[in-house]
Structure 1
Amino acid sequence: METAALDSAVATANLPLLLVDDDAPFRQRLQLTLERKGFAVTGAGSIAEARRYASTLKPGHAVVDMRLEDGNGLDLVTELRTLRPDIRIVVLTGYGNLATAVAAVKAGAVDYLAKPADPEDIVAALTAAPGTRPEAPAEPMSADRVRWEHIQRVYELCSRNVSETARRLKMHRRTLQRILAKRSPR
């Protein structure tokens, strides 16, 4: 989609956007970029602050970080969807994995992007027509990444219990802890 088309799509939307991220410098940069694209952005640094703003704003769009200091952004996605069923929500995370991506979409997010997300990708996700799908990635995941995704999925299924995850994966608990402490492979 052309930038001019994106700008006009945002202008016609004329809805406020709630930006929730506890990383203040990132939030301020993204807020400025989204405002330049025509959104009326309100930034929040926590779930509690976002709840206060959401109750009065009733935003039509939201960009929510997955992990916040005072909780999980997925809980906020569900609350925003309840508050306004037609809201378009994009979930951002620095800890991307398949299980949380599926959980975000099930909770009501229209897209799930890994940080640092390109602002154009965020705007495209927020302004895409309902039912459209993002393009497939140009490069498939590496074998290490697929393994890491599987471990993360089982970890989430075990309610983030390391001992139970290690037992199900038939892996030593300390080995699993080392894997979980590392960043995801590319």
Structure 2
Amino acid sequence: MDDVKTAIEQKIATLTDRTLLLLDDDAPFRQRLARALESRGFSVTAVESVAEALKVIEASPPAFGVMDMRLEDGNGLKAVEALHAKRPDARAIMLTGYGNIATAVAAVKSGAVDYLSKPADADDVVKALLAVEDHAPAPPENPMSADRVRWEHIQRVYALCNQNVSETARRLNMHRRTLQRILAKKAPK
């Protein structure tokens, strides 16, 4: 573990641009994470809304971004997309308290390099931002079961079909009644 920490510290020391945009509407978490990232050498601009983030990105796009997924005025994916449009070499990660496979895929498609569940540790955030080579992340301690992954996928498709059971069943290539039974059950662990 010390090797990973040393590799991260060395990588931070070699960075020419350490600007970082932190977007989160949870003020205590945002302030705590901003302080922790600043203590690791980043120049942090912390904002609480997508509108503020877009203004910062437009004025001076940072090299790094840490964005919350769900905010009061929109979605953090919009800020990630704007950051990559203004600065394609920027590295951004998504944070969320509502983790599921579909939103992780959406985050990566929008340009995020990783996706972390809240509350995220500052060290995990830095590891994800820098993605130190030759140091694969540890496997999750409590990975989702296959049943949960399937359930999450079905829920995502159902939401994308505006809760239309017939359309969702058609897209998932399953019988409508089977889908109705699945939707009636609680989420698996």
Same fold (TM over 0.5): yes
2:135 matched to 1:98?
Answer: no
Runs (5+) with no aligned partner, structure 2:
170-175
Which residue in 2 is equivalent to 1:73?
A: 76
Which residue in 2 is equivalent to 1:162?
A: 163
Q: Residues 24-173 of structure 1 correspond to what in structure 2 (within 5 A)? A: 24-129=27-132, 134-158=137-161, 161-164=162-165, 168=169, 170-171=179-180
Counterpart Cα distance in 2 of 1:102 and 1:146: 13
Q: CA deviation at 1:33?
A: 0.6
- Identify if the C-alpha distance between structure 1 residues 21 and 155 changes in structure 2 by more than 3 Å, giving closer, same or farther: farther
Question: What's the TM-score, normalizing by structure 2?
Answer: 0.81
Q: Write the letter of the residue equivalent to 1:77.
A: V
Q: Write the letter of the residue equivalent to 2:180.
A: M
| Stretch moving more, 166-175 or 147-156 | 166-175
Q: CA deviation at 1:23?
A: 0.7
Residue pair 2:80, 2:111 contacting (<8 A) in 1 also:
yes
CA RMSD, 1 decimal: 2.8
Residue pair 1:16, 1:59 contacting (<8 A) in 2 also:
yes
* 1:76-121 superposed Cα distances (whole Å, 9 cap, x missing partner): 1111100100000000111111111111111111001111122211
Residue pair 1:47, 1:70 contacting (<8 A) in 2 also:
yes
- Identify if the C-alpha distance between structure 1 residues 166 and 88 changes in structure 2 by more than 3 Å, giving closer, same or farther: same
Question: What's the TM-score, normalizing by structure 1?
Answer: 0.82
Q: Write the letter of the residue equivalent to 1:40.
A: S
Identity of aligned residues (%): 53
Residue pair 1:166, 1:173 contacting (<8 A) in 2 also:
no
- Please identify the structure whose Cα radius of gyration is greater: 2
Q: CA deviation at 1:149?
A: 1.8
